[in-house]
């Protein structure tokens, strides 16, 4: 069984679980990998109308993930290695890590099932709450930022991400061109900080908080019809026309079809074969393979 992709420095203190006080500092234990190369070429005609706002998916679109978002990881039931390494990093035993691996995906499946029976599908879990419960079950300190430390560390081990080449430059060009930027992501509390670290930017300087839709804040995730219904309603309240808003995502069902169903423009981002999710429809509609192509499609 393959081990974690990164082997960060581990404090030697026997009280390792008390070393880190701010969960964000956990991210600094991991190197920032080189960008992922995208497919060249593939020019597309300018979009009509040209978008005044672009909403980006994160995993598979702005960054290339090793596994994907939490739903992808749940479907794969990713290996126990990252849970064992997390347990040992914070002073617990290997057996605790093995238990955490089982409990983690059981908790996700249980909450999804319960909320589906209530009409919420797909639901989004609060991963830090799951970790708080798991830490408490083994007698650990589950108060304060501890659960977020554990959750972020495990995520960085299991699902390292790389920036797609050209993404940062495209964001800067779009921003300078007066295009509003936002996020539509199946995500957790650590997603935006990891995105900022990986791209080398302050996300708050690029993405409008009013145009940032993160599933962990909503309680449901794409492709729930509620997700883009909420996006559309928000746009209208902001005085924006949905047809002048573009969604860029790597998943044909979650991003393209779900957005188009609510009157938004959408393009499929096929940065590489690893990250694209074609579904049953294949390469239908507008497909972009790199960020220069996106700029061209936006008339820049």
Which DSSP symbol is given to 163?
Answer: E
CA distance 79 to 59: 19
How does pLDDT run along the chain (300 residues), one tens digit per residue?
333 333 344 443 333 444 445 899 999 999 999 999 998 877 788 999 999 999 999 999 999 998 755 666 555 556 899 999 999 999 999 999 999 999 999 999 999 999 999 999 999 999 999 999 999 999 999 999 999 999 999 999 999 999 999 999 999 999 999 999 999 999 999 999 999 999 999 999 999 999 999 999 999 999 999 999 999 999 999 999 999 999 999 999 999 999 999 999 999 999 999 899 998 765 667 999 999 999 999 999
Q: What is each CA distance from 262 to 219, 233, 281, 283, in whole angstroms?
A: 20, 10, 19, 20
With beta carbons less than 8 A apart as the criterion, state whether 252 and 278 touch. yes
CB atoms within 10 A of CB 19: 15
Name every residue whose Cβ is closer than 8 Å to that of residue 254 and which is 6 or more positions away in sequence.
Answer: 57, 186, 222, 223, 277
Query: Directed axis angle between helix 127-137 and helix 146-158, to 10°?
Result: 110
The encoded tokens of residue 282 equal 């294949």
CA distance 93 to 96: 5
Task: Tell me what pLDDT residue 87 has.
Answer: 98
With beta carbons less than 8 A apart as the criterion, state whether 40 and 160 touch. no
CA distance 68 to 59: 6
Name every residue whose Cβ is closer than 8 Å to that of residue 209 and which is 6 or more positions away in sequence.
Answer: none
Domains annotated for the chain, with CATH where assigned, are 53-66+161-297 (3.40.50.1000), 70-158 (no CATH)
CA distance 44 to 159: 32
The H-assigned helical ranges of the chain are 70-76, 81-89, 94-117, 127-137, 146-158, 167-176, 191-199, 203-206, 215-218, 225-237, 258-260, 291-297
Sheet with 287-288, side-by-side order of all strands:
212-214, 180-185, 53-56, 245-249, 265-269, 287-288
With beta carbons less than 8 A apart as the criterion, state whether 122 and 220 touch. yes
Task: Tell me what pLDDT residue 285 has.
Answer: 78
With beta carbons less than 8 A apart as the criterion, state whether 27 and 160 touch. no
Angle at 59 between CA 65 and CA 204, to 5 degrees: 120
Angle at 250 between CA 246 and CA 254, to 5 degrees: 80
pTM of the complete model: 0.90
Task: Tell me what pLDDT residue 69 has.
Answer: 59
């Amino acid at each position: 069984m393959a081990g974690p992709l990164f082997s960060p420095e581990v404090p030697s203190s026997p009280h390792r679980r008390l070393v880190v006080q701010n969960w964000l500092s956990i991210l600094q234990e991991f190197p920032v990998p080189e960008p992922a190369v995208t497919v060249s070429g593939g020019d597309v005609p300018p979009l009509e109308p040209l978008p005044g706002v672009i909403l980006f998916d994160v995993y598979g679109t702005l960054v290339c993930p090793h596994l994907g978002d939490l739903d992808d990881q749940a479907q794969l039931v990713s290996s126990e290695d990252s849970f064992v390494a997390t347990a040992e990093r914070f002073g617990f035993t290997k057996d605790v890590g093995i238990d955490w691996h089982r409990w983690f995906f059981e908790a996700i499946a249980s909450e999804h099932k319960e909320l589906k029976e209530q009409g919420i599908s797909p639901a989004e879990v609060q991963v830090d709450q799951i970790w708080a419960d798991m830490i408490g079950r083994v007698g650990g300190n589950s108060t304060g930022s501890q659960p977020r430390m554990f959750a972020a560390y495990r995520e960085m081990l299991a699902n390292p991400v790389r920036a797609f080449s050209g993404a940062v430059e495209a964001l800067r060009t779009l921003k300078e061109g007066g295009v509003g930027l936002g996020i539509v992501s199946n995500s957790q509390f650590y997603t935006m900080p990891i995105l900022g670290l990986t791209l080398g930017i302050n996300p708050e300087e690029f993405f409008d908080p009013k145009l940032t839709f993160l599933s962990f804040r909503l309680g449901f995730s794409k492709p729930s019809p509620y997700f883009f219904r909420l996006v559309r309603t928000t746009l209208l309240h902001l005085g924006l026309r949905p047809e002048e808003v573009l969604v860029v995502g790597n998943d044909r069902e979650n991003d393209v079809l779900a957005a188009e169903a609510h009157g938004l423009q959408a393009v499929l981002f096929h940065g590489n074969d690893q990250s694209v999710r074609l579904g049953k429809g294949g390469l239908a509609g507008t497909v972009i393979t790199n960020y220069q192509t996106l700029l061209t499609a936006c008339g820049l």
